[in-house]
Amino acid sequence: MFGVVFPNRSFPMDVSAFSQIDTSHWVLDMNTFVGEAYDQIREMCIFLLNNFTLPPDKALAVYIQSPGSQFLLCGAVTLARPSAVLTLPWPEPSGQMQLMPADSAPVSAKIGVSVEDLASLQSLDVTADKRIERLALKVGENLFNFMQSFCGVVGSKLVVPMDILDRWFKKFQEKAKRDPEYLKGFVL
C-alpha cells in the first residue's frame, strides 16, 4: 500500500498506523501520534510500497485538517512519482469548534490519504506552487517599496522616474550576488 515518515519525528509507518475509512480513504489522528503539538510536524514523506499497484490514472492524495477546519490538499504520489516530501501548512484551527462532553474524545488534527483520479488534482506539487506565489508576492513588494521611495505626486497620480525599473533590478541583482542568503528570505 503506502508508508509515511515524519522526518526527525518517526520511524517509517505503514498504512496500519492509519484508520481505514473505506477502500480508498485513510486517516491518521494526530492526537494519538503527537497530541496537541500537531502543528510542530512540518513535513511528511509519503511513498508507495513495492507491493501496491496504483492504476496509472490514479494518485494517492495527502490532505491535512486542523481541528474545526476543512481538509487542505498538500500533494500526491503516483506511479510516475512514487514518493514525495510534502510541507504541511497546518491551517489555523477554526473558532467554530463545538464544546464536547467531558467523556468524549478530544477534537484533533488529521492527515488524510485518498485514492483519486489524477486528472482531478490541480497540481501534484502544491507546496512548490505556494512557494512560487509567495516569491512573486515578495519580489513585487520589494519593487513597490523601492519605487515608493522615489515617488512624486502630480494631481492624483504617483509619478516615478523612467529608469526606476532598471535601477531596482540592478540593485536587486547586486544584493543577490553579494549575499546568497538574500533570495532565500523571499521563499521562506
Q: Where is pLDDT greater, at 166 or 35?
A: 166
d(CA 111, CA 37): 14
Within 9-166, strands assigned E span 13-14, 19-22, 25-29, 43-48, 58-65, 72-77, 83-87, 110-117, 152-154, 157-159
The grid cell for 128 is: 512548490
The confidence band for 32, taking pLDDT boundaries of 50, 70 and 90, is confident
**Structure-model confidence comparison of residues 25 and 156, the more confident one:** 25
pLDDT at 104 over 50: no
Per the CB < 8 A criterion, the answer to whether 24 and 58 are in contact is: no
Question: Which H helix or E strand runs over 26?
Answer: strand 25-29
pLDDT value of residue 128? 59
Quote the pLDDT of residue 144.
85
Mean predicted confidence (pLDDT) in 111-116: 93
Percent of the chain with pLDDT over 90: 17
User: What's the predicted TM-score (pTM) here?
Assistant: 0.62
Report for 19-23, 101-105, 147-151, 173-177: range of highest mean pLDDT: 19-23
Confidence of residue 27 (pLDDT cuts 50, 70, 90): very high
Q: How far apart are CA 32 and CA 28, in angstroms?
A: 8
Contact 18, 85 (CB under 8 A): no
Q: Higher pLDDT residue, 151 or 61?
A: 61
Per-residue pLDDT at 187 exceeds 70: no
Provide the 3-class DSSP secondary structure of residue 31.
helix
Provide the pLDDT for residue 126.
Answer: 54
Q: Residues of the chain with pLDDT > 70: what percent?
A: 85
Q: What is the mean pLDDT of the chain?
A: 81
Grid coordinates in use for 53?
499497484
Provide mean pLDDT across the span 51-77.
87
130: pLDDT confidence band, cut at 50, 70 and 90?
low
Average pLDDT over residues 70-91: 88
- Beta-bridged to residue 61, according to DSSP, are 76, 114
